[in-house]
A and B are shown apart, each in its own frame.
Chain A
Amino acid sequence: MSRIGVFVCHCGENISRTVDVEQVAKAAGEIPGVAFSCDYKYMCSDPGQTLLKKAVAEHKLDGVLVAACSPRMHEKTFRKAAEAAGLNPYLCEMANIREHCSWVHEDRDMATAKAKDIVKLMVERVRKGKSLAPITVPVTKRALVIGGGIAGIQAALDIADAGHRVVLVEREPSIGGHMAQLSETFPTLDCSQCIMTPKMVDVANHPNITLFTYSEIEKVDGYIGNFQVTVKHKARSVDESKCTGCGICMTKCPKKKIPNEFDQGHGMRPAIYVPFPQAVPNTPVIDRENCTMFQSGKCGVCAKVCGPGAVDYEQQDTFTVEDVGAIVVATGFKLYTIDRKPEGSPIQGYGEFGYGTIPDIIDGMTFERLASASGPTGGKILRPSDGKEPKQVVFIQCVGSRAREKGISYCSKVCCMYTAKHTMLYHHKVHDGQAYVFFMDARTPGKGYDEFWRRAVEEEEAVYIRGMVSRMYQRGDKIVVMGSDIQVGVQVEIEADLVVLATAVQPQDGADLLAQKLGISYDKYNFYSEAHAKLKPVECATAGIYLAGACQGPKDIPDTVSQASAAAAKVMTLFAKDKLERDPVVAKVNEKYCVGCFACKKVCAYGAIEEKEIRDRQGNLVKKVAYVNPGVCGGCGTCQATCPSKSIELDGYTDEQIMAMIEAL
């Protein structure tokens, strides 16, 4: 007969408000095999845990059930307490009577009845539970950082400075990301490139950092401490080891009129190029789709002028496998476009703004390039259609953001501030110009932010109009902006020379595909999900993978840098130990019954199942059976549900446990 202890938590009033906890504890006490039951205000508090430990000792409990919140919240807490009381931690379970009961039901009687049922089920689970010993695995003290924007750069530098090796993988030809594109940064108006480029150079020169640009993640295997990551190195068509970065190929390339992505298509670049002059590495790449040599086989100018002979038209994509112990994901964001969206996309375009067909309606990043001294206009604000200096500029905030009807309901967080910055930059550059801003709310939490915004309104003469724009259309060389001023209660019409849209921040294209490779979760917008919104903001639910920057949600630079450093700290914590204990929820084979059909091997996504030979003393082969490598097993249990002879079992979720729970229904 088992001696199980049941502890029912009030969670302040969170549970006791709708669930009669005393009754639940009483009913639990009547379940055969339950030796002790009680209720307590806060089980997770120190006195609560002490209560648990004391009860284990006093009543000689051999299993513990805490009926409280979700195990995702406090399972670790109580297992630790049980362990301290001398119990195997895996004999401690939680019954979720908060998230799954008291918070979602109002009828006290029915909620109490449900809580009792949940406790009853879980008691059976505890009863059939087994002691498990954690599995220890070695840790590869080398980190992978995905994404070379400010988040990835900061994380890589921090980890590398702590003395660990880092592999930094960037999809574009250069690191730098969006921050390298910005002109000035709020709230200090210091030049973005001036603070960014030194960090980029630090990455390139750091002895602990291996930099792979123009590379992508192909495949991720393994688990915390032991990931094997296949990196695809896209063919640059330039041998990085030979190139000196002299740039003569770029000046001689006959194809020079290709819209430059770095300048949002408003500047031009040749077919062999570096994205921008301060690029790291300073090794060019050939854009094969636009290169005459690749398209027609004739040209070859760059190869002829290259002194070191670095240009290599035959270069192929290559793959390397990197062993790493931790991964920081820092893939950043892209900006929403108002274009017509493909059929079936949950996100809509803006037909009322002409679906992006009016050339002088630009997005915020394009304005950054126009305002940047290194941009296509040399820092002069000139509009794209005719190169004239705009005298009336309308800025529109929340384009796509906070617009449920367009498919995005979140706030993009940075637009209020950067629009205020844009009005200032514009005012500094075009003294007789007038900036108008249509806004819903000005959201300026952050150090020095509201002061900055007030300066834009009060000192820099930007006219802020509270209301939204309903329609824009081209009339002659002007854009007529029709909107409303909801504070005055009138409709407003402004004839603008240039319109700048603060479009929503979205995750990068392919963010979902990368998440699937990594096995991490993401929300309906494809932003990556942190393990806990408040208490684990940089961890993924998947152990060993951490998040930094806007891939998790819209963020400004200070927040991004903070999160990147936090992610780096998490990696260092992991690397502080040589070995790491992992959850022993893994499959085991009962060799007696295994008939060696290897159906399990076929369904195992981890390749954890091997064929093992059983021989007699003479060395004759008796049979072949399956063997699970506990270091590789992910613990999903698919093998167990597949096994026809029921001879493979997942610890922690055995058939016996589950059947006992179902019996208790």
Chain B
Amino acid sequence: MHVEVTKHDFEPKIVAFVCTWCTYAGADLAGTSRMQYPPNVRVLKFPCTGRIDPVFILRAFQKGADGVLVSGCHPGDCHYMAGNFHARRRFAAFRALLDFVGVDLNRLQFSWVSAAEGGKWVDVVTELTERVRTMGPMPEFKELEHEEQWSGAINTPELKEAYDSIG
């Protein structure tokens, strides 16, 4: 498969949290099959999607990710029996939270890619990369990191007002 290499103005940073048994192996299969996909993705391997703490996703956004992919075994096929079910429930709630906070959910994708689905891995990664490319960078969380961390001191009028309103 030959893919035309085109230069883009914006290369999004995509971080993929994957389980070792299905999606990591699926990505390996894409490699052994010499399929092609955009090189924007960085893969972090976990034993199971059940291990993935939502905090990791937030931290990834903060550290410069423009899109995050979480992918594991298909429901019912978990190597650890039920880890992906726990992950599914956890992320359903987490998505709602992100939505509430105002994160465009198009930047965060969950998918099931089995060890036999090299092609699906390519599709998922390509789709997410291209989608995020059109959306542009995601600066909000990055900026958050640069802001001074709150020391606990009520040192601004806004904070003071908020604090008083609770009291």
Alpha-carbon distance between A118 and B41 when the two chains are bound, in angstroms: 10
In the complex formed, the residue of A with least CB distance to B13 is A665
A65 to B86, CA, bound (A): 32
Say whether B50 contacts A637, CB under 8 Å.
yes
Give Cα distance in the complex from A520 to B50, angstroms.
17
Is A98 at the interface (CB under 8 A from chain B)?
yes
Tell me the bound Cα distance from A516 to B87 in angstroms: 18
Q: Does A481 contact B (CB under 8 A)?
A: no
Q: Is the CB of B79 within 8 A of A541?
A: yes
A443: Cβ under 8 A from any B Cβ: no
**B14-36 interface mask toward A, CB cutoff 8 Å, 1 = contact, 0 = none?**
01000001101101101110111
Binary interface encoding of chain A residues 508-550 relative to chain B, with 1 for a CB under 8 A from any of its CBs, else 0: 0000100110010111100001000000000001100000000
Contact A521 B115 (CB under 8 A): yes
Interface hub of A106, A521, A524, A541 (most chain B Cβ within 10 A): A521
CA of A110 to CA of B14, assembled, Å: 14
CB of A404, distance to nearest CB on chain B (Å): 14
Chain B hits for A107, CB < 8 A: 5, 39
Complex Cα distance, B41 from A99, in Å, reads 13
Question: Is B71 in the interface zone, CB < 8 Å from A?
Answer: no
Chain B residue nearest to A71 (CB atoms) is: B45
Q: Quick check: B42 and A118 within 8 Å, CB to CB?
A: yes
Are the CB atoms of A529 and B116 closer together than 8 Å?
Answer: yes
- Write the chain A residue with the least CB distance to B120: A524
Counting CB contacts under 8 A, is A70 at the interface?
yes
Alpha-carbon distance between A652 and B11 when the two chains are bound, in angstroms: 32
Q: Which residues from chain A contact B63 at a C-beta distance below 8 Å?
A: 662-663, 665
| A665 contacts across to B, CB distance below 8 A | 13, 15, 42, 60, 63-65
Bound complex: CA A655 to CA B56 (Å): 9
Are the CB atoms of B56 and A662 closer together than 8 Å?
A: yes
Which residues from A are CB-within-8-Å of B47? 585, 635-637, 650, 652-653
Q: Contact at B42–A519, with CB atoms within 8 Å?
A: no
**Contact partners of B36 in chain A: CB under 8 A:** 104-106
Contacts A519-B81, A529-B116 given; indicate if A636 touches B31 (C-beta within 8 A). Answer: no
CB contact between A640 and one of B34, B53, B78 (< 8 Å): that residue = B53
Determine the residue in chain B with the shortest Cβ distance to A523. B116
Within the complex, the shortest CB–CB distance from A294 to chain B, in Å, comes to 34
CA distance A401 to B2 in the complex (A): 29
Chain A residue, CB-CB nearest to B81: A605
Chain B: minimal CB distance from A93 (Å) = 10
- Verify if A100 is at the interface (C-beta below 8 Å from B): yes
What residues of B have a CB within 8 angstroms of the CB of A638 in the complex? 48, 50-51, 80, 82-83, 86-87
Instruction: Give the residues in chain B near A589, CB-CB below 8 Å.
Output: none
Using CB atoms, name the residue of chain B closest to A646.
B53
B51→A650 contact, CB < 8 A: yes
Answer yes or no: A661 CB below 8 A from chain B CBs: yes
* B-contacting residues, A632-665, CB 8 Å: 634-638, 640-642, 650, 652-653, 655, 658-659, 661-663, 665
In residues 80-112 of chain A, which contact B (Cβ within 8 Å)? Answer: 96, 98-101, 103-107, 110-111
A101 touches B39 (CB 8 A): yes
Which of B3, B65, B79 contacts A519, CB < 8 Å? B79
Could you tell me if A641 and B50 are in contact, using CB atoms closer than 8 angstroms?
Answer: yes
Chain B CB within 8 A of A501 CB: no
Q: Complex Cα distance A634/B52, Å? A: 16
The reply on A466 being an interface residue by CB < 8 A is no
Residue B43, interface by CB 8 Å? yes
B59 near A659 (CB under 8 angstroms)?
A: yes
Contact B77 A516 (CB under 8 A): yes
Are A99 and B32 interface neighbours, CB within 8 A? yes
B46 at the binding interface (Cβ < 8 Å): yes
- Give the CA-CA distance A26 to B143 in the complex, in Å: 31
Cβ of A461 under 8 Å from chain B? no
Contacts of B80 in A (CB 8 A): 519, 605-606, 634-636, 638
State which of B27, B44, B77, B83 has its C-beta within 8 Å of the C-beta of A661.
Answer: B44
Residue from B27, B59, B79 in contact with A99 in the complex, judged by beta carbons closer than 8 Å:
B27
Instruction: State the CA gap A585–B47 with chains docked (Å).
Output: 9
In the complex, what distance in Å separates the CA atom of A495 from the CA atom of B5? 56
Q: Which residues of A in the span 382-414 have a Cβ within 8 Å of any Cβ on B? A: none
Q: With A and B bound together, what is the CA distance between A94 and B47 in angstroms? A: 15
A117 interface hit (Cβ, 8 Å): yes
Q: Which residue of chain B lies nearest to A659 when distances are taken between CB atoms in the complex? A: B59
Task: Beyond the given A603-B82, A637-B47, please list 18 additional residue pairs across the A-B interface where CB-CB is below 8 A.
Answer: A99-B30, A104-B31, A104-B36, A104-B39, A111-B39, A117-B42, A512-B76, A515-B77, A519-B80, A521-B73, A521-B77, A521-B115, A605-B83, A635-B80, A636-B51, A642-B86, A662-B15, A663-B63
Binding site for A on B (CB under 8 A): 2-3, 5, 11, 13, 15, 21-22, 24-25, 27-28, 30-32, 34-37, 39, 42-48, 50-53, 56, 59-60, 63-65, 73, 76-83, 86-87, 90, 114-117, 122
Q: List the 3 closest pairs (A to B, CB-CB), nearest first.
A: A99-B31, A637-B51, A638-B50
